[in-house]
Structure 1
């Protein structure tokens, strides 16, 4: 594990990262060669090697939760002063935040990545916008299918961030499916209320859109259940 930085060193890293990110965008558009970036890239390499030694996805996520604070000063500096220079550290940490369950932090970076058109390293084979839509959606669907809840806010933020970005219909369908399923989760005939009916209406719209984009997305049964609950709520208020 890399040596932990002192508060003073973290402050200096934040300042150095911001200065490097601002200068790089005006120079060659890439962070390569900047001392702050190269230090973080070297640390990233060490952490990747550690992660390769772990087979369990659950334990990988836990390891990422422990090491992500090491990158916080660098990320804060880049997001505060950066102007869109290409940055493999930033895009990788964005995904690690998703994996670690810090969706708000991941989306905060994602907004910068999409705004400035940063690209993902070649090994990902997908655009940044596609990853921002798909990665949280896949994590959400995995949790929801296991019977767990999942916060809908980061999914809605992913939709907002990537709204105008091009991606395969299947990828956007997956995001709409995740949003609709998350909104409907936990609502049943015993807890129908005006607020829950509002969530169900939104869920119905997102699930319908998911099916329009990808007929085999897997949302048809969920949509049928949502619409049954909406009809039950309407009937109870018209009775």
Structure 2
């Protein structure tokens, strides 16, 4: 057994290492190797984040300081092949989405789902629902502004279609978004009249019909009527 004096010394060293990591933004030594100490450092960093009044400052801190600081530990955890509850891993998934690292966020969330990792305490959804909500909100904003949403939209949509049993409302929103995406013009607006390919129109209507099947009030009836009208015009 460790003597009281040695236990005190180790606690003091751990405290110093944790404080140093919070100050420098770099985890090293015991802090780099111990999940317990990493979580102590994480608590301090979350407290620092909460002191930032601007969202942009919090995003910058996550991107430039916190993700680089903790990523090596998470990567070692993933490479180890071991599976255990890892709150640090869970928190970094959230931060990856917060800073727009969708490749990392989606890949890590798939691992978290496979490992049955719980989401952080402040996230009241499971991983699949969190990712679906987050990516869809981002994609709708991007698409409306005429920006690209691939490959992340299709990557998550494949999961929504095949693997994730989300509730009907969320699933309907995804099928609706998929249909709208096929109909968007150069300005990002869904306009069936701007589409000249009957196969694209039929696929869009297929997605919208499935959206209605999942949730009848998803709001696609008018758009489907416009698609039908456009198909009649093209046929004539």
Shorter-chain TM-score tier: 0.5 to 0.7
Q: CA deviation at 1:222?
A: 5.6
Are 1:209 and 2:210 matched, yes or no?
yes
Are 1:3 and 2:4 matched, yes or no?
no
Q: Which has the larger radius of gyration?
A: 2
| More moved, 147-156 vs 94-103 | 147-156
Distance 2:230 2:23 in 1: 53
Question: Unmatched 5+ residue regions in structure 1?
Answer: 17-34
Written as runs of structure 1 = structure 2, the 5 A alignment for 1:175-186 is: 175-186=174-185
Q: State the TM-score, normalizing by the size of structure 1.
A: 0.67
For the 8 Å contact 2:142–2:148, the answer to whether it is kept is yes
The number of residues matched between the two structures is 208
1:2-52 Cα deviation digits (max 9, x unpaired): 42448xx59x95xx5xxxxxxxxxxxxxxxxxx1x2233233323322332
Written as runs of structure 1 = structure 2, the 5 A alignment for 1:43-54 is: 43-54=41-52
Aligned twin of 1:106: 105
Aligned twin of 1:40: 38
For the 8 Å contact 1:91–1:120, the answer to whether it is kept is yes
Q: CA deviation at 1:89?
A: 1.6
Root-mean-square deviation (Å): 3.6
Aligned twin of 1:153: 151
1:181-200 Cα deviation digits (max 9, x unpaired): 44544456897576xx7666
Distance 2:107 2:123 in 1: 20
Distance 2:125 2:213 in 1: 22
Question: Unmatched 5+ residue regions in structure 2?
Answer: 1-21
Structure 1 residues 74 and 168: CA distance shift in structure 2, 3 A: same
Aligned twin of 1:61: 59
For the 8 Å contact 2:96–2:104, the answer to whether it is kept is yes
Are 1:90 and 2:111 matched, yes or no?
no
Q: CA deviation at 1:105?
A: 0.8
Q: CA deviation at 1:112?
A: 0.4
Secondary structure (helix, strand or coil) at the match of 2:38 reads helix
Q: CA deviation at 1:118?
A: 1.7
